[in-house]
């Protein structure tokens, strides 16, 4: 997505974002379902009870959990385990999550929700990313707000149970923890269970605390909580509080309680999900409408017909209910899965065999699976729950294992790292999930943490700032040009010299008029992202230079607070005698590969050049490939595979492709 978090209207100098993936619709059928509900960021007061300035009170939050557990007769390990799964014990300064949840216990208060268009409805980007058929442009409009489910208003219930004002539950971590303990105790009583000191007796209450209305989601959530209790956790929170949950490796909860929760049964039949997550089948429609038009995806036969090489991470820019309505509209775009923030529940919409329209680049769409996460790019404090991060990581690991997708940043793409397929599309490509998605934590959950793999002579760096401490300035979250709230970020800014007052790196594709890059939250021209790898172009004091978009780009990388770690691998550089080689946004076959009846697709270079003496990290070697699919019936579908080979490279913020015939591959340290 692109654009303001609270105002979908464009501001001067801040154009409306473009659609993310492939087609845009012409009909008004999407009008009813094309907007989803966004939760405003309410002002946050300092947490009550904070220690006076200069006083070391790093145990205050731990004591608050202990006190609340004793007052409401909830086992401390259960209270800590639930809070860890909700927020990793962070308070987020009193700011709400993407679903209006507050504080360490994620108490939800979403009654002030506003409506706005989700990111696939914004701007002019063609979600399908293929000019072989016309783009659809759906009308947009906000649906009437439905009755909010109970999972989105737990703060009100907590206020009634504790007698504490709602504002205090939102902004005071200690009060918030007490509210969570009260909710757990109430859930235990409703199940007819005693307020036992044994955590094993609280499985049903934990399942109900999730807010899920079905047994599969509630069980997945409770299983995660008890996994945390068994393994134990310790960390320092975003407010500097040191927290410890002692491990109880032999704890066996009473899972039979789940049958007494009264939750509905949801079938996972038809889904392609691991057993460790809660998943249901909510299909995107495949049907004809209008004249020579159909939606909202293409039938395929992957991986038999063509490989699946990418997983694309998106955010929804809308609330769960509205987004689920959208993907069921045949005149709208599609994606494969949607993940809910409150409890990590997953809905699958398009089979992995078929091609969803989600990435804005037809080559990537044809070879990827798209995951939409309930969230908002331009809301730095609208945080994602640990439950959703964990469910997403499990789904990605499952898909990666099934289809042989490497777990690295050249295959697990953000929508913001998908390249524009042609020069004209570059300025409108989407920028979600954005700088506030915690890639470092996400890859730790994937079991692929970003660690040093070489010394300083390795020739590469892997971007890896400390998410919480790394706080670059951004603008445009709420109003164009105005500062965003200070917040942890996965991204590092690039300069033309080793000086933070130097001009930012320019992107001639994003700004063909030669305009300067900005620190707008949607401007990815001069920034790199956690997990991405680049070839080192120089070092000077606390600064490191990399090759980026054909330029030498500098970022701060001090030893005491490093924003990158050393690595080694393979790089590409122009073949001997070549001053430069072209760069592409898609790996399409040469014209001789196309059979009769399939229009030749142009292999058009982007406006960039890979120059002699520069090096870029290389990923897969892939043949040129094009999926021809412009009719409703499958009899005309073809996968065209050429003889030309391409290398995927990390060229700028986004990946790109170069022809193998144009470059040579070499070890990075030479």
**Residue 605: inside a domain, yes or no?**
yes
Q: Mind listing the pLDDT tens digit for each residue in 43-62?
A: 333 343 344 444 457 899 99
The CA-based angle 497-501-503, given to 5 degrees, is 60
What does the CA dihedral 478, 378, 241, 163 come to, rounded to 10 degrees?
Answer: 60
Q: Which pLDDT score is estimated for 378?
A: 85
Do 583 and 656 form a contact (C-beta atoms < 8 A)?
yes
Q: Which pLDDT score is estimated for 427?
A: 95
Q: Is the peptide bond before 433 cis (omega within 30 degrees of 0)?
A: yes
Query: How far apart (Å, rounded) are the C-alpha atoms in residues 248 and 232?
Result: 7
Q: Which pLDDT score is estimated for 334?
A: 95
Query: How far apart (Å, rounded) are the C-alpha atoms in residues 27 and 310?
Result: 31
Give the chain's length: 670
| Backbone phi and psi for residue 416, each to the nearest 5 degrees, phi listed first | -75, -10
Q: Which pLDDT score is estimated for 479?
A: 87
Q: Which pLDDT score is estimated for 119?
A: 53
Do 653 and 429 form a contact (C-beta atoms < 8 A)?
no
Q: Mind listing the pLDDT tens digit for each residue in 4-31?
A: 333 322 222 323 233 333 333 333 333 3
**Residue 363: inside a domain, yes or no?**
no
**Residue 588: inside a domain, yes or no?**
yes
Do 434 and 499 form a contact (C-beta atoms < 8 A)?
no
Stretch (H or E) spanning 159: helix 154-162
The CA-based angle 505-510-514, given to 5 degrees, is 65
**DSSP track, 10-55:** -BTTBPPPPP-SB----SGGGTTTS-EEE------PPPTTPPPTT-
DSSP 128: B
Q: Which pLDDT score is estimated for 359?
A: 95
Task: Name the 3-class secondary structure at 473.
Answer: coil
Tokens found for residue 81: 């385990």
**DSSP track, 631-668:** SSSGGG-EEEEEEEEEEEEE-SSSEEEEEGGGEEEEET
Do 400 and 406 form a contact (C-beta atoms < 8 A)?
yes
Measured CA to CA in angstroms, residue 378 lies from 247, 340, 510, 570 at distances of: 37, 18, 19, 35
Q: Mind listing the pLDDT tens digit for each residue in 90-102?
A: 998 888 888 889 9
Query: How far apart (Å, rounded) are the C-alpha atoms in residues 392 and 374?
Result: 11
Q: Which pLDDT score is estimated for 95?
A: 84
**Residue 629: inside a domain, yes or no?**
yes
Tokens found for residue 479: 């109003």
Query: How far apart (Å, rounded) are the C-alpha atoms in residues 587 and 659?
Result: 8
Going by their DSSP bridges, the two strands 570-574 and 616-628 should be labelled as antiparallel
Half-sphere exposure of 375 (CA within 13 A, CB side): 29
Q: Domain containing 645: what range?
A: 573-667
DSSP 504: B
Q: Is the peptide bond before 296 cis (omega within 30 degrees of 0)?
A: yes
The number of domains in the chain is 1
**Residue 659: inside a domain, yes or no?**
yes
Residue 122 CA to chain centroid, in angstroms? 18
For residue 427, what are the contacts with CB-CB under 8 A and spacing of at least 6? 18, 420, 509, 510, 511, 512
Q: Which pLDDT score is estimated for 40?
A: 29
**Residue 240: inside a domain, yes or no?**
no
Spell out, as residue ranges, where the chain has pLDDT lower than 50. 1, 3-55, 112-118, 123, 137-146
DSSP 584: B
Query: How far apart (Å, rounded) are the C-alpha atoms in residues 287 and 296?
Result: 8
Query: How far apart (Å, rounded) are the C-alpha atoms in residues 615 and 570?
Result: 9
Query: How far apart (Å, rounded) are the C-alpha atoms in residues 16 and 287?
Result: 30
Query: How far apart (Å, rounded) are the C-alpha atoms in residues 480 and 173?
Result: 32
125: nearest Cα among 117, 136, 139, 116: 136
219: nearest Cα among 278, 272, 270, 150: 278
Stretch (H or E) spanning 209: helix 203-209
**Residue 640: inside a domain, yes or no?**
yes
Going by their DSSP bridges, the two strands 663-667 and 570-574 should be labelled as antiparallel
The CA-based angle 453-438-66, given to 5 degrees, is 110
629-641 burial, b for 16+ CB within 10 Å, e for fewer? bbebeeeebebbe
**Residue 656: inside a domain, yes or no?**
yes
pTM strictly above 0.85: yes
Q: Which pLDDT score is estimated for 336?
A: 98
């Amino acid at each position: 997505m692109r654009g303001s978090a609270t105002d979908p209207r464009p501001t001067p100098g801040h154009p409306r974002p473009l659609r993310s993936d492939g087609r845009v619709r012409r009909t008004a059928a999407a009008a009813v379902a094309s907007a989803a509900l966004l939760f405003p960021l309410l002002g946050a007061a300092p947490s009550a009870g904070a220690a006076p300035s200069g006083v070391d009170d790093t145990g205050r939050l731990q004591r608050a959990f202990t006190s609340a557990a004793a007052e409401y007769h909830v086992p401390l390990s259960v209270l800590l385990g639930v809070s860890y799964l909700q927020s990793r014990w962070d308070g987020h300064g009193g700011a709400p999550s993407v679903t209006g949840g507050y504080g360490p216990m994620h108490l939800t208060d979403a009654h002030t929700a506003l409506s706005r268009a989700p990111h696939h409805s914004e701007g002019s980007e063609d979600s399908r990313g293929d000019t072989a058929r016309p783009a659809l442009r759906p009308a947009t409009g906000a649906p009437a707000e439905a009755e909010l489910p109970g999972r989105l208003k737990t703060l009100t219930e907590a206020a009634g149970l504790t007698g504490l004002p709602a504002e205090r539950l939102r902004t005071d971590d200690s009060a918030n923890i007490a509210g969570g303990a009260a909710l757990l105790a109430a859930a235990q009583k409703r199940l007819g269970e005693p307020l036992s000191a044994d955590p094993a007796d609280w499985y049903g209450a934990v399942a109900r605390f999730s807010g899920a209305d079905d047994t599969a989601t509630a069980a997945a959530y409770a299983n995660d909580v008890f996994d945390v209790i068994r393994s134990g956790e310790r960390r320092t929170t975003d407010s500097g509080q040191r927290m410890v949950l002692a491990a109880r490796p032999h704890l066996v909860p009473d899972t039979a309680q789940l049958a007494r929760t009264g939750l509905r049964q949801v079938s996972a039949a038809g889904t392609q999900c691991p057993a460790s997550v809660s998943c249901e089948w909510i299909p995107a429609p495949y049907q004809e409408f209008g004249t020579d038009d159909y939606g909202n995806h293409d039938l395929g036969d992957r991986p038999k017909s063509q490989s699946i090489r990418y997983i694309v991470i998106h955010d929804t820019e809308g609330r769960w209910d509205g987004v689920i309505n959208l993907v069921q509209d045949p005149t709208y775009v599609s994606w494969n899965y949607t993940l809910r923030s409150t409890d990590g529940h997953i809905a699958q919409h398009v089979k992995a065999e078929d091609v969803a329209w989600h990435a804005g680049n037809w080559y990537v769409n044809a070879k990827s699976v798209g995951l939409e996460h309930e969230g908002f790019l331009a809301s730095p404090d609208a945080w994602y729950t640990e439950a959703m991060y964990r469910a997403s990581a499990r789904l990605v690991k499952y898909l990666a294992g099934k289809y042989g997708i490497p777990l690295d940043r050249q295959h697990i793409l953000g929508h913001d790292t998908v390249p524009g397929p042609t020069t004209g599309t570059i300025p409108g490509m989407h920028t979600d999930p954005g700088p506030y998605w915690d890639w470092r934590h996400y890859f730790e959950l994937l079991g692929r943490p970003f660690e040093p793999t070489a010394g300083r002579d390795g020739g590469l760096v892997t971007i890896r700032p400390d998410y919480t401490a790394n706080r670059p300035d951004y603008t445009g979250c709420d109003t164009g040009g105005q500062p965003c709230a200070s917040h942890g970020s996965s991204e590092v800014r690039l300069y033309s010299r080793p000086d933070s007052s130097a001009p930012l790196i320019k992107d001639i594709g994003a700004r063909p008029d030669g305009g300067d890059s900005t620190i707008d939250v949607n401007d990815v021209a001069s920034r790199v992202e956690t997990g991405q790898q680049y070839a080192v172009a120089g070092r000077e004091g606390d600064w490191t230079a990399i090759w980026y978009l054909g330029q030498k780009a500098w970022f701060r990388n001090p030893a005491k607070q490093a924003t990158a770690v050393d690595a080694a691998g393979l790089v590409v550089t122009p073949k001997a005698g070549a001053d430069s080689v072209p760069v592409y946004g898609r790996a399409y076959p040469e014209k001789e590969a196309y059979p009769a009846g399939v229009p030749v697709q142009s292999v058009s270079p982007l406006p960039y050049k890979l120059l002699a003496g520069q090096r870029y990290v290389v990923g897969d070697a892939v043949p040129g490939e094009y999926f021809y699919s412009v009719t409703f019936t499958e009899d005309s579908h073809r996968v065209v595979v050429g003889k030309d080979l391409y290398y995927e490279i990390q060229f700028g913020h986004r990946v790109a492709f170069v022809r193998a015939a144009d470059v040579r591959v070499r070890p990075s340290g030479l």
